[in-house]
Amino acid sequence: MICLDALSVDFDERFQLHDINWTIQPGEHWLIAGANGSGKSALAAVLASEGTYLAGTLSGVPDRVALVSYERQAELIEAERRKDDADIVDVISEGTSVAAIIDADCCDPDLAQTLIDTLGLRPLMGRAFRKLSTGETRKVMLIRALSSQPDVLVLDEPFDGLDHNSMAWLQDHLSALAEVLPMVIVLNRFDECPDFITHIAYVDNGRLLHRVDRDNERAFAELYQLLHLKTSGLEIPAADPTARLPALDPDAPLVRLRGATVRYSDNTVLEDLDWTIEVNQSWQLSGPNGSGKTCLLSLITGDHPQCYVNDIMAFGFQRGTGESIWQIKQFIGYVSTALQWEYRVGTGLRNVIISGFYDSIGLYTKSTDTQKAIADEWLALLGMSARADEPFNTLSFGDQRLVLIARAMVKHPPLLILDEPCLGLDDMNRQLVLALVERICLHSETTVLYVNHREQDRVPGIDNHLTLTE
């Protein structure tokens, strides 16, 4: 049993893994997944005794751990290059031959010879290792690892750069090997996950955030979606080019409240609040429950009836001068738990997203082909392409939230209001939502108004804070 207990590891001060708790039981085969730069390769390398331990312990690692990774590959090539540089005589050094490199660690020559043939390296055996292409080098690394009779096999992106036939062969070979040898594999593309993998470790920002048993279908599906959002190259879909919003004065604030007050006969919810939201000035609104956050938002969205007795300028309209609520809402994308409760419809996911073009709950207008295409792009971004016609109300709570965020963003509103978007979500779904919000913040022109009852939960990129008190 390999056991990482509260382990923190430093890698040449370039990267650190923090507080890793991880146990690999006999018979388990792990996949390490995560976005680029999240620490997948570092975690794999720890098993091969790399890095400097800052805290915690690592125990139970067997003697022979074979690691195939870009880093190892680069080290080997670098070592070869140094040999060349070290040669001060004026002789052209070929460096070590492929055959010698393979022989160096070899414990199973028969297997090595088979692998050389299978992977088509036979003609290259006499060539200098450092003259090989990247893909060829990778094959050499694999042969070295597989023929070293390891106790654990750690493969970092083993399928990268392999041609189709080699990859198919390697997958078969690994499947057979899985019967006798524990394996840890790092993969960028989750859909390449081999069948023999029993567990998935999800790494983000140097931390091991999730350990998912593959038999737990629900958790597996959520992790799949999270990885999809974190790793797919898909862009935030564009706005509908045929439906332009009325132009806003770029110098005028999006919203300006003066002396905003909301009062009922028995209590006062808001009193004399001034607030201006300029274009591209994202805000975080915080405050305890009951401090009037949602009330303040609904003054902006026009959902609060007392917006008509307040001095509110929104999107060029002085409220209460003959504008309709739909003229206000067209500039706003809105997500909240309350909206989710209201959105109790059996409408399919595609139509739920399209309803964002009309600011309606449910869809009451025939949609255009462009709108459908955009909605489908959003579903692809969410990793829900196959579920376009599934009824919204049968989705998990977290999935509903994601779809509603897509609905809010589908028209690329000048103002996106996220009212406690993570409320009621478990950790995994919270990260899903944050991953989506992060992508939206990075890749659109939308001004974000993020509401969170905990002031300390700050979102990167949001510099303005308004805190309400009770």
Partner 1 sequence: MANYFNTLPLREQLAELGKCRFMHLDEFDEGVDALRGKKMVIIGCGAQGLNQGLNLRDSGLDVSYALREQAIAQQRQSWKNAIENGFTVGTYEELLPTADVVLNLTPDKQHTNVVNTIMPMMKHGSCLSYSHGFNIVEEGMQVRDDITVIMVAPKCPGSEVRAEYVRGFGVPTLIAVHEANDPNGQGLALAKAYAVGTGGHKAGVLMSSFIAEVKSDLMGEQTILCGMLQTGSLLCFDKMMGEGIDPGYASKLIQYGWETITEALKYGGVTNMMDRLSNPAKIRAFELAEEMKDIMRPLYWKHQDDIMTGTFSKTMMADWANDDAELLGWRADTAETAFEKTPASDTEISEQEYFDNGILMVAMVKAGVELAFETMTSAGIIAESAYYESLHETPLIANTVARKKLYEMNATISDTAEYGCYLYNHACVPLLGDFMKGMRSDVIGKGLDVADNAVDNARLIDVNDAIRSHPVEAIGGVLRGHMADMKRIV
Residue ranges that bind partner 1, judged by CB under 8 A: 264-265, 302-303, 305-309, 322-327, 342, 345-347, 351, 355, 358-364, 366-367
Q: 226 and 435 in contact (C-beta within 8 Å)?
A: yes
Please state the closest distance from residue 354 (CB atom) to partner 1, in A. 9
What does the alpha-carbon distance between residue 334 and residue 297 come to, in Å, rounded to a whole number? Answer: 10
What does the alpha-carbon distance between residue 167 and residue 24 come to, in Å, rounded to a whole number? Answer: 26
List the one residue out of 193, 101, 195 whose CA is nearest residue 147: 101
Nearer to partner 1, 120 or 346 (CB): 346
Q: 261 and 310 in contact (C-beta within 8 Å)?
A: yes
Please state the closest distance from residue 417 (CB atom) to partner 1, in A. 16
Nearer to partner 1, 75 or 342 (CB): 342
Please state the closest distance from residue 364 (CB atom) to partner 1, in A. 5
SS3 helix, strand, coil % of the chain, rounded to 5?
A: 40, 25, 40
Burial (CB < 10 A; 0-12, 13-18, 19+), residue 153, is buried
Nearer to partner 1, 294 or 452 (CB): 294
**Complete edge-to-edge strand list for the sheet that includes strand 447-452:** 332-336, 415-419, 447-452, 283-286, 464-467
Please state the closest distance from residue 359 (CB atom) to partner 1, in A. 6
What does the alpha-carbon distance between residue 298 and residue 310 come to, in Å, rounded to a whole number? Answer: 12
Nearer to partner 1, 263 or 454 (CB): 263
Nearer to partner 1, 164 or 366 (CB): 366
Please state the closest distance from residue 262 (CB atom) to partner 1, in A. 9
Exposed e or buried b per residue across 46-66, where buried means at least 16 C-beta atoms within 10 angstroms of its C-beta? bbbebbeeeebebeebeeebb
Nearer to partner 1, 165 or 394 (CB): 394
Please state the closest distance from residue 242 (CB atom) to partner 1, in A. 20
Please state the closest distance from residue 318 (CB atom) to partner 1, in A. 13
What's the per-residue H, E or C state across 163-203?
CHHHHHHHHHHHHHHCCCCCEEEECCCHHHCCCCCCEEEEE
What does the alpha-carbon distance between residue 453 and residue 111 come to, in Å, rounded to a whole number? Answer: 61
What does the alpha-carbon distance between residue 179 and residue 327 come to, in Å, rounded to a whole number? Answer: 64
- 419, amino acid identity: D
Nearer to partner 1, 109 or 346 (CB): 346
Nearer to partner 1, 56 or 348 (CB): 348
Please state the closest distance from residue 448 (CB atom) to partner 1, in A. 23
What does the alpha-carbon distance between residue 416 and residue 279 come to, in Å, rounded to a whole number? Answer: 12
Please state the closest distance from residue 287 (CB atom) to partner 1, in A. 22
Nearer to partner 1, 207 or 319 (CB): 319
CB within 8 Å of 247: residues ≥ 6 apart: none
